[in-house]
Amino acid sequence: MREIPEARLQVELSGQVALVTGASRGLGRAIAVELAANGAVVACVARNAEKLAETVAAAAAAGGQAEAFSCDVKDGSQVDRLVDALVAKWDRLDILVNNAGITRDALLAGMHDTDWDEVLDTNLRGAFLFARGASRVMMRAKYGRIINVSSVAGLIGNAGQTNYSASKAGLFGLTRSLSRELAKRRVTVNAVAPGYIESDMTETLGPVLLEEARKQIPARRLGKPAEVAAAVLFLASPAAAYITGCVLTVDGGMTG
């Protein structure tokens, strides 16, 4: 099959400040680098300082500006302090990308309470905490973009991932409800729902399961982190001002 050349989406984000959680690897890194390459100053948030440094370096290599910030996204006091620090440093917060997420896979009958709590706290509570803090800043400024990175697992479910699927489905409710609260303040709230994307997580599936996954995808391939980052970049742009409460699937047609 002939390879289709990649085309870069370009938008103007100069002067804007973005915050990306889970920015130390995978989709979070790709999103942070893409926002920085398009002019935003990006606060890269995670707990792994070494990996965050790699993201900051990648943003600089792409011609952008990014800084690393350590934060436990489940801790409300840490989140509020970080948001306050960013506003004190840059006097604004224009874009929030809630990307931080973990998995603790197990069939429900054997799932421990901690497996449920850790996934819901990181994936859903973390998004709530950052959205709450960022929305206060954005409402005052009467401008903002909040993008929640969910998953097709939240739409169609996945055996062995009741905790993960529930957390990602919860992001849809958070997105749609908050979009109604903030629309009149010119703050949009949208979600991106990736399907199978090339990443450390999908590599652990092994070749047999990956081949089965490809068969479920009409495009017959896994997506690339850059393709998810492009969707986030568009929703973060001024061009998406009239799009709010939307769930944008990036899944090669998997969910139709």
How is the chain split into domains, by residue range? Answer: 17-250
Catalytic site positions: 164
Nearest to 32 by CA among 223, 212, 232, 221: 232
When the pLDDT of each residue in the chain is averaged and rounded to a whole number, the result is: 94
Q: Taking residues 164-175, report their average pLDDT.
A: 98
pLDDT digits (tens, 9 = 90+) for 62-81: 999 999 999 999 999 999 99
pLDDT over threshold 60, residue 3: no
Question: Where does the pLDDT of residue 203 fall: very low under 50, low under 70, confident under 90, or very high at 90 and above?
Answer: low
Residues 6+ apart with CB under 8 A from 177: none
Give CA–CA dist 164/143, Å, rounded.
Answer: 31
CATH topology of domain 17-250: Rossmann fold (3.40.50)
pLDDT digits over 102-150, tens only? 999 999 999 999 999 999 999 999 999 999 999 999 999 999 999 999 9
As a whole number, mean pLDDT of residues 160-177 equals 98
pLDDT on residue 186: 98
| Contact between 173 and 220 (Cβ < 8 Å) | no
The predicted structure's pLDDT at residue 1? 46
Please give the pLDDT value at position 99: 98
For the cut 80, the answer to whether the pLDDT of residue 100 exceeds it is yes
> DSSP E strands: which ranges in the chain?
17-21, 41-46, 65-70, 95-98, 144-149, 187-194, 247-250
